[in-house]
Structure 1
Amino acid sequence: MSDEKNRATAAALLPLVGGAANVTSVTHCMTRLRLGVADRSLVRDDALKALPAVLGVVEDDTYQIVLGPGTVARVTPEFAALVDAGRDAPPAPDDPPAAADRTGPTPSALSTAEELAAQGAALKARQKARNATPVKLFLRRIADIFVPLIPALIGCGIIAGLNGLLTNFGVLPALVPALAAIASGFMSLIAVFVGHNTAKEFGGTPVLGGAVAAIIVYAGVAQVSAFGQQLSPGQGGVLGALGAALLAVQVEKACRRYVPEALDVLVTPTVTVLVSGLVTLFGLMFLAGEVSTAIGTCANWLLAHGGAAAGFLIGGLFLPLVMLGLHQALIPIHTTLIEQQGYTVLLPVLAMAGAGQVGAALAVYVRLPGNRSIRTTVRSALPAGFLGVGEPLIYGVSLPLGRPFVTACVGGAFGGGFVGLFNQLGTTAGSTAIGPSGWALFPLLKGNQPLGATLAVYAVGLLVGYAAGFLATYFFGFGKQALADLNAATDPGAAGG
């Protein structure tokens, strides 16, 4: 039954993005189906947003349909199969409703929620244009290296948490070593996967990027000295793997330009691995190791000494960082912390931004009793918001309204301040994986205290974020005139809704 539902969702999505012939690529991340589309004008945004399975759409370097965690991983293969099956078929002619969807409803037919959605889409388009700078495009490509690794990080993180529970309670002791091996195996080789994905993303041969990165985790590097120090397996971690694979791509491309075709199959891979490997051993591993150590030290110091102030600042600024596209720079930092310490102390603080967003949306719902349209949007988006999927609330409610986006940031700041304060007091809350947020983060929590204390700090932090976002939005989220206008601008027959 579940497979039929996923196939039905995929079948409903395909014609609304212009059919198989209009789809150039199909991938997914934690919550979004990411599509490359040949002709953007064939995508019917309004009809997509109206589908029950769709939580929202985001237009970035790819067209992204928010389906939520779990659902997207099941719908994507069904969608890809339909695209493969129908790619050679001629596209079906548009019917009149399709044309209406593309041109958009007339102003007289617009409800307030639709106007906000249109305004949110315009804001996203403008932000996308601002984000198309070389630095931000580079950060986006770095993020694309790590996004495919998130499912393994989550799975291994949850298994590690389960193993910790078995250890703490002394249950099934014979199973503990096996679970430890399962949970740690991926992390011990994560550098290889990073190297593989880096070469793939930047136009090199993926297996050569993985081969060079594998040097970092090879036990024999302990026999090599660099900068007067003995190297250790894993030194430099994912940052070293990233640098090594980037270098390998450049060496490989240079070889392709100058090596005769008859010798390419022998010379290019040999020179690529040899040159990149030597530079990795006698330079990159040491330098990346120093940077990785500094990242871990800085993150721990920031929350241990900055406490509430640091958490307040980090939690409050995360949503603007997302809007600017700069949050992608945090992904390698999270991964480095997980690799070093077993968890990242930054993610639970950043997750408070989502809590502030939920609190702000609840206040919008309460403050607009006369606007059934917006209240319906809030109701439909809240379940995803509680699970850490914030796009429907951000782009459908708070950002187009203006002030509620700012007050949502205030909620995130107070939640982050609470988590940061307890970090300073000695109870660290961290996450063993990246990707989930909100309530979905609970199975991945880990800290320096018993699990109950870590769960309590995070749970109360969420409540603080909800409450602060709600109160800030309730009292400061609307001007008097805006409040009156929004309560008056309701759908026909919606009075009292």
Structure 2
Amino acid sequence: MKYTKLVAMIVENVGTKDNINSVVHCTTRLRFKLKDEKKANTDFLKEADGIVTVVQSGGQYQVVIGNHVADVYQELMQQTGLDGQEQVPDDNKGSLLDRFIDLISGIFAPALGLLAATGMIKGLLSLFLTFGWLAETSGTYVVLQALGDSFFYFLPIMLGYTASKKFNVNPFLAMVIGATLVYPSIVGLSPMAMAMAGAGAEPLYTLFSGTIFESPIYVTFLGIPVVMMSYSSSVIPIILAVWFASKVEPFFKKIIPDVVKTFLVPFCSALVVIPITFLVIGPISTWLGTALGAGSLAVYQFSPILAGLIIGGLWQVLVIFGLHWGLVPIAILNIATLGYDPILTLTFAASFAQIGAVLAVVVRTKDKKTKGLGISAFISGIFGVTEPAIYGITLPRKKPFIASCIAGAAGGAVLGLMGTKGYIVGGLGIFGIPSMINPKTGIDSTFYGIFIAIAVAFILAFVLTIVLDKRQGDKSLKATK
């Protein structure tokens, strides 16, 4: 009941329920896919109480709500009767970039909360081991480690479900594809597992010998060699497999009689999709993922400091337009293949730069509403949620936002200089700090780089904002009401 009027107003001004194809939410935003964005009353929504701003990007109509967006979303579902995950085909496909960002955000946004939560558990376990509070042999550690590893290890199943909603595939078929990829017997046939099995695990023969694609063959399917990969924690194979299923499943729906569709459509679809996934899609997509990881690592190795300056400085700009989703799968790929990610880590100090700028505005302003929103945005920013700070405080004033970007670049440069890396897909803000503990060496100099970067970004943003934004007693802007 708390958000009844707010939701009714939003629905009315996005063009009513009839104009909504689908809607999902992330940390702070309702992400609509509208049939016609011209029907939405954007100017009204931007000025409305309870809404921070509206962003039209990535083929999505994004209404920024704040930290309570999940509650607003639930009320929206109740009022409209919509299935927030169900995707309705668009007449307007948008640009290639829009479609890519929409695809990535649609697949990863629903899963990111739990992925971060389980990563936080692993991060805390790393702390407990480092300080000797838990032993690896203890039952407590074993249970919590299983909880922390579960989501990332079985990521193909989770992404199979979310991808099924984007590609309009039976979600159980998509989850079966993911489950097959991480089935214990399949995992045991990966080259690494077979190598660990000892001398008795000799390959039948080797394909592409002497190339970067050299692949020992341990099993065949109907006489066809199967290039086995390790699919646990993988990203690209399941997404491409579910996309392929979206082409296969409708074909069988057309040719199979209605009386037996219930079981014959998934039966035939699975028998076609899963073997082709292992024979073609899995190996090619895994090689592609390895290449993407190697490419991102090459950019980082060329100059970690320069990479930190660019990525750290642009991160908040990417967040505004929803383009930051493009780095999420790269980070997951790097952790799955390399055991660490240096790329997304370079953005870590940016949220602290943002709250440094916010604190400067709060200190200087005499407007009570600005102070109230600023304090709330500051607290959210500590935990890595910066949209309230961006849209409510810094971006409307421009100079504080520029200061936060400069400070984010400086923090990113420090992280690059110190060689700080992320080893877990962990939480945001201060909850993400434990994810940068090296599981092999524990707390080392690279870990201390986090605190140096945070301090540099926060202090520099605060000072620059004080210097650049000289308005005192400023009147309340729309977004600060």
Cα gap change, 1:147 to 1:18, in 2 (>3 Å): closer
Match of 1:229 among 209, 216, 221: 216
Segments of 5+ residues of structure 1 without an aligned counterpart are 1-6, 86-130, 492-497
Equivalent residue in structure 2 for 1:216, among 181, 185, 201: 181
Shift of 1:207: 1.6
Match for 1:456 among 443, 448, 454? Answer: 448
2:412 to 404, 416, 423: 416
Distance 2:70 2:412 in 1: 30
Partner of 2:242: 245
Match of 1:150 among 96, 99, 112: 112
CA distance in 1, matches of 2:233, 2:25: 29
Q: Give the counterpart letter for 2:105 in structure 1.
A: A
Q: Distance in 2 between matches of 1:451 and 1:353?
A: 22
DSSP 3-state at the match of 1:284: helix
Structure 2 letter corresponding to 1:137:
R
* CA spacing shift, 1:251–1:18, aligned 2, 3 Å: closer
Q: Which amino acid aligns with 2:63?
A: Q
Q: Which residue of 8, 11, 14 maps to 2:7? A: 14
TM-score calculated relative to the size of structure 1: 0.71
The 5 A counterparts of 1:338-353 are 338-340=335-337, 344-353=341-350
Q: Which residue of 2 aligns with 1:384?
A: 380
Question: What residue number does 1:64 align with?
Answer: 63
Shift of 1:15: 4.0
Residues of 2 paired with 1:450 and 1:310: CA distance? 25
**Which moves more between the two structures, 10-19 or 36-45?**
36-45
**Secondary structure of the structure 2 residue equivalent to 1:17:** helix
Per residue, is there more helix in 1 or in 2?
1
| SS of 2:385 mapped into structure 1 | coil
1:171 is aligned to 134
Aligned match of 1:32: 29
Decide whether the 8 Å contact of 1:153 with 1:432 is kept in 2: no
The separation in 2 between residues aligned to 1:353 and 1:201, in whole angstroms, is 30
Compared CA separation, residues 145 and 46, structure 1 to 2 (3 A): closer
How far 1:250 moved relative to its partner? 1.4
Q: Quote the offset at 1:248 in angstroms.
A: 1.0
Displacement after TM superposition at 1:363 (Å):
4.2
Compute the TM-score of the two structures, normalised by the length of structure 2. 0.74
Q: How many residues align?
A: 420
Q: Deviations over 1:149-207 (max 9, x none)?
A: 12221222122223333433153623222222222222221112212221221122222
Contact 1:354 1:438 in 2 (8 A): yes
Question: Could you tell me which residue of structure 1 aligns to residue 162 of structure 2?
Answer: 197
Alpha-carbon distance, 1:371 to partner: 6.7
* Alignment-mate amino acid for residue 454 of structure 2: L
Separation in structure 1 between the aligned mates of residue 370 and residue 262 of structure 2, nearest angstrom? 61
Identify if the C-alpha distance between structure 1 residues 19 and 446 changes in structure 2 by more than 3 Å, giving closer, same or farther: farther
Q: 1:159, 1:341 → 2: CA distance?
A: 21
Cα distance, 1:295 vs structure 2? 3.7
Whether the 8 Å CA contact 2:229–2:286 is kept in 1: the answer is no
Specify which of 438, 441, 447 is matched with residue 447 of structure 1: 438
Distance 2:122 2:389 in 1: 32
Structure 2 residue ranges without an equivalent (≥5): 83-92, 191-203, 209-214, 218-227, 477-481
Aligned-pair RMSD on alpha carbons?
3.8
Q: Distance in 2 between matches of 1:326 and 1:34?
A: 14
Per mean C-alpha deviation after superposition, the further-off stretch among 413-422 and 253-262 is 253-262
**Contact 2:156–2:232, Cα closer than 8 Å, also in 1:** no
Change (3 A) 1:440 1:159: closer
CA distance 1:398–1:133, shift in 2 (3 Å): farther
Query: Do the aligned residues in 2 keep the contact of 1:419 with 1:461 (CA within 8 Å)?
Result: yes
After alignment, is 38-47 or 21-30 more displaced?
A: 38-47
How big is the shift at 1:328?
1.9
| Preserved CA contact (<8 Å) 1:199 1:245 | yes
Q: How does 1:431-446 map to 2 (within 5 A)?
A: 432-433=424-425, 436-442=427-433, 444-446=435-437
2:146 paired residue number: 181
The DSSP-based 3-state class of the residue aligned with 2:235 is: helix
| Partner Cα separation in structure 2 for residue 325 and residue 166 of structure 1 | 35
The one-letter code matched in structure 1 to 2:428 is S
Structure 1 residue 466, shift from structure 2 partner: 1.6
Farther off after superposition, 22-31 or 140-149: 22-31
Q: Distance in 2 between matches of 1:327 and 1:170?
A: 36
Structure 2: distance between partners of 1:220 and 1:413: 46
